[in-house]
Amino acid sequence: MPSPAIAPFLGATGRMMQYRKYSEASAVGFLSAILFTVFSDPVRSYVDFGEKWLELSGLPYQMNTALLGFIVGFGTVRILLLMRLQLFKMLLNYRGWMHNPKSTTTKMWGLMLNAMRGKGNFPTYYFQEVLPKLPVPDLNTSCDRFLASMRPILSDEDFRNLLTEVIDFKEKDGPILQSYLLQRATRTNNWLKDIWMNLAYLSNRKPIAVNVNCYATDRLNIPSTKQKARGATLIHWILRFHEQLQDETLKPQYMQDMIPMCMESYKTQFSTVRVPCSGIDRLDTYKDSNYIIITRRGIYYKLEVKAPDNDGKDRLLTVTEIYSILEKIFAETEASEECHQVSNRLKLMENPTNKESLHAVEAAITVFSFDDEKPSSIDENGLLTLCGNGTNRWNDKSLTFAIFSNGVVGVNAEHTAGDATLPGRMWEYFLQSETYTAEGNIISEQTRKKKLPVPQKINWDLKYMDSEIDTAKEHFRKLSHSFELVVSSPEYGKGFIKKKRMSPDGYIQMVLQLAYYKLYQKVPKTYESASTRIFSEGRTETIRPVSEYSAQFVKSMLSESATREQKLMLLRKAVQYQTQIKMDACCGLGWDRHLLGLFACCQELKRTPPALFMDKNFFAPDILSTSQTPTNYTNKWTMETSCMGGGFFATSFEGYGVSYMIYGEDLIKFHVSCNLNCPTTSAAKMSDAINEAMNEMREICS
């Protein structure tokens, strides 16, 4: 629970804390009433101004004194609450901590923020009401930064056209759309939330399987090779994490261990499904769901996750209890020839049995799939977790967990419901918590349940859908076979980079720029994600690491006339630029989402699109789509229990998806993906180029 220092002053969110909004003030009011009554003579001189009113109340004098005492105590606390709440909000609006972390102002701000926040295990959504709104950037600044990011990528002619369109936009349509966007920002907690959700995800007509979903892999040395043991343990600890979200006991996340981050997206991490619709999809969340789906060999089971203990209270199933249930499911599915290849939601809805079964899956907490495959590498782990075999990934669900027959596990996440940091924290929680015997078996314990729930087989009637199923299978086969993934590690990590006084993330971004340039002699349009969760309902912003500095740096690395000193100078400038715009993006001052917001406003107002929005380069695809996968969400993180990264499919047919995870001081993992159907891309060649670039950049820094 929150510390006494802060609990009375921040209000509350969630079921746990609803009563606390006035309870502390009431407690102080009652204490004040008692003190006023017991020590009525000393305080009489202070309450004479209210004596006439008290006499008119018709109550005895002692009761009037107690009533006045309660009003004074209650009112004082509520006034202090408002004052402290406003001060806390003001402190959270300060951004200097990111740009000037060692300044005296930042140090004083940090002391005040910690004092206001206090210490304690705050409820999950405790700080939601005090998080600042996402700002709307300056129009001219966003336009100028957009041009600067595009200059190294475009030909002279294309840039000249873009430049004139931006100038025209700044003078005509831009101010009108900016004014409308500013009005929108005053009406909502986050002006970008619905725009980003609809344009980036829900209106995207590509299949979300492979294209949209992302994955996380297992740890390097798995603690058990036994499928049922690993699966039972996985189910239990994932449900423990879910229970913390339900009870709102999951600790809020902080940036720099100090600034509270938005937890809103955790509300859709479980029990959520993306429902395919005509034109634009929707997200449905079943917050009271109390069961999971377990699938093996095309057979689906519905399993309630709680049962009455000996004391009559409903409690989560233990690892031992889940294991015994899995044994029954495995026995039933071992020799079964039944395999439900579910596809085509609209066609399924025509049949009452299928409609009911479909709802059962969509409303479940999550899905656990027990697969027959045996991934033998991180690459295979990632590929099989993301793609499956076409029948064992419910891609519309916010989370689907894969448990392979050799004990390897993975998680498939639907991207609309949340960004990678959310399932990443959950995944780290599981990997840190699981325990087994030396032989890899579960650690058995005596069951305390009066009666274990029986898994209920979900029925499907698919006889009338043979044609649709065959079409879907062929479509998925082509889609999944287009996914190429290579995972690699360079010879050194962030320890070396930090010794050279450069940002590891900025340095790695320049590695990717150099690797691509070595292969294609082009500067690629590049996307990198930044978190904006320090704002209410914040998700991500775009970092555009390409600059004149980065373009000149990669060209210098292939130039025989460039000196080592010139290469190093350009590298440092390119990294500094990337670091600066990354901080700006995290502070809500990026330009990509801002311009997208202006585009959405143009659509809402039904205005004729300005030439800028019609330019082929305005929505040009990202050739390099990159993201750093975070680690170390808690102080319990260890290298031994850390997952080996995650990734996603390239967002462009002719591009690459590159996810990287930094471990400790000496290890970095790159997950490089591309489309196998593209004749000009190769994940293997790009991966090799990344390792070469790392070595070449180390040479100029040494």
Backbone phi, then psi, for 555, in 5-degree steps? -70, -35
Tokens of 688: 């090799």
Let me know: does 675 contact 681? Beta carbons within 8 Å: yes
Looking at residue 343, its amino acid is S
Alpha helices in 260-390 (DSSP H): 319-334, 345-348, 352-362, 378-387
Count of other CB atoms within 10 angstroms of residue 208: 17
Let me know: does 69 contact 33? Beta carbons within 8 Å: yes
Q: DSSP assignment of 404-441, as one string? A: -TTS-EEEEE-GGG--THHHHHHHHHHHHH----TTS-
- Cα 646 from chain centroid (whole Å): 13
Structure letter (DSSP) for residue 276: P
Let me know: does 468 contact 672? Beta carbons within 8 Å: no
Q: Among residues 262, 307, 303, 267, which one has the least CA distance to residue 286? A: 267
Residue 389, burial from CB neighbour count under 10 angstroms (0-12, 13-18, 19+): middle
Count of other CB atoms within 10 angstroms of residue 619: 10
Looking at residue 421, its amino acid is T
Active-site residue flag, 415: yes
Rounded to a whole number of angstroms, the CA Rg of the chain reads 29
Q: How far apart are CA 654 and CA 681, in angstroms?
A: 6
If DSSP codes are grouped into helix, strand and coil, which group holds residue 166? helix
Catalytic residue among 236, 415, 594, 671: 415
CA distances 522 to 191, 569, 592, 623, 673, Å, are: 36, 21, 22, 11, 19
Catalytic residues: 415
